[in-house]
Amino acid sequence: MRGHGWKWLLCTPALIVLLLAASGPLLIVAVYSFLSPGNMGGVVWEFSTEGWFRVFFRRDIFEPDLVEWNAAHLQVFWRSIWLSLQTTFICAVLGFPTAWFIATRPPHTRTIWLFLITIPFWTNLLIRTFAIQEMIRNNGTINTVLMQLGLIDSPIQMMFTEFAVLLGMAYVFLPLMVLPLYAAMEKMDFRLVEAGYDLYASRLNVLWHVILPQVKPGFIAGSILVFIPAIGAYVTPRLLGGGRTMMLGNLIALQFGQGRNWPLGAALAMLMLVVVVGALILYLRVVGGNDEARRG
């Protein structure tokens, strides 16, 4: 019992840092969302729910008495969530075979493959995004090669499209899916796969009933690691998507910048937090919960 208390003491420095550095600013944001906007940015210490009101509703610019749903904000929220879901799905589809390939190599070569997966992290995200731009722009590498091979006559417009954004997002977040999947597969008992075949299960059946249940924790961890940062993605959609449409991150930045409405920005940021935590809980309930039930 006494030993247990000492162990807690060991992690207090880390807990203090977390508390100050994570909860502190978060608390400030929460408080700011209930204040009034100051002159040229900042806040005035007057309680107001206007920030939160404006997250969901807007007064018609031309008839201030007319209050309606703030469709623009909802649209931006939905776009960010939808993009993150698509990114997570693409990463899962591409990540599974990759992780499987690595996990089935002889142990001494696995390290090399894992090492290759981490190489993108050596370079700054911004630089890698510019490199993608160079590949897919109208007179970029891909279009030039295709045109010189005579496969196309005029460049394919890839930059500034949804395709470009998804390509960039999938590229950036793929390692975050591969690594946890690999970790789960490495621990997998391959004798169960053999047993499945021995019992005349088809390939698909083995995948569905033997492999997937075992690597599920990897999928859950990977999806969380991809989905959450993808919601707040800012650089990739902006550079590759051409900034024609706003993401959640851009909308929040607008309120703290030229919009000069910090309470609204703070309220939007809090709502984003709620969405992320909500998604997390839902996901763990739906996917993680099943697991518990089966074990029980």
Partner 1 sequence: MKTLTGWASAVLLGSTALASAEGVVNLYNWGNYTHPEILERFTAETGIQVTLTDFDSNDTALARIRQGGHGFDIVVPSDTYIQTWITEGLFQPLDRDIVTNMDNIAPQWVDVPFDPGREYTVPWAWGTTGVIVDTSVYSGDPNNIELIIDPPAELQGRINVIPEMSDVMAMTIYYHGGERCTTDRDILRAVRDSLISAKPHWLALDYGAVDSYAAGDFAAGIYWNGASMRVRLLNDNFAYGYPETGYPIWMDNAAVLADAPNRDNAMKFINFVLQPEIAALISNFARYSNGITGSEEFLDAEMRDAPEINVPAEFVEAGRWGQACPQDINDIHTQIWTELMQ
- Enumerate binding residues for partner 1 (CB under 8 A): 17, 20-22, 24-25, 37, 39-42, 58, 61-62, 71-73, 75-76, 137-139, 159-160, 238-239, 242-246, 250-251, 254-261
Q: Is 122 exposed, middle or buried (0-12, 13-18, 19+ CB in 10 A)?
A: exposed
- 259/288 with CB nearer partner 1: 259
Query: Can you tell me the distance from the alpha carbon of 28 to that of 37, in angstroms, rounded to the nearest whole number?
Result: 14
Q: Which of 252, 290, 253, 240 is nearest to 73 (CA)?
A: 252
Q: How far is the CB of 142 from partner 1 (least distance, A)?
A: 14
Q: How far is the CB of 258 from partner 1 (least distance, A)?
A: 5
Output the 3-class SS for 170-223.
HHHHHHHHHHHHHHHHHCCCHHHHHHHHHCCCCHHHHHHHHHHHHHHHHHHHHH
- 60/292 with CB nearer partner 1: 60
- 79/110 with CB nearer partner 1: 79
Q: Are 253 and 41 in contact (CB under 8 A)?
A: no
- 35/211 with CB nearer partner 1: 35
Residues in the chain: 296
- 193/273 with CB nearer partner 1: 273
- 76/132 with CB nearer partner 1: 76
Q: Phi first, then psi: what are they for 57, rounded to 5°? A: -125, 160
Q: How far is the CB of 123 from partner 1 (least distance, A)?
A: 18
Q: How far is the CB of 160 from partner 1 (least distance, A)?
A: 5
Question: Alpha helix locations (H) across the chain?
Answer: 2-10, 12-18, 24-32, 50-56, 71-103, 107-118, 125-136, 141-148, 162-186, 190-198, 203-205, 212-231, 235-240, 248-256, 262-283, 289-295
Query: Can you tell me the distance from the alpha carbon of 274 to that of 191, in angstroms, rounded to the nearest whole number?
Result: 43
Residue 275's identity, in one-letter code, is V
Q: How far is the CB of 97 from partner 1 (least distance, A)?
A: 34
- 158/179 with CB nearer partner 1: 158
Q: Phi first, then psi: what are they for 42, rounded to 5°? A: 75, -175
Q: How far is the CB of 149 from partner 1 (least distance, A)?
A: 21
Q: Are 58 and 144 in contact (CB under 8 A)?
A: no
- 138/214 with CB nearer partner 1: 138
Query: Can you tell me the distance from the alpha carbon of 21 to that of 38, in angstroms, rounded to the nearest whole number?
Result: 25
Q: How far is the CB of 242 from partner 1 (least distance, A)?
A: 3
Q: How far is the CB of 82 from partner 1 (least distance, A)?
A: 14
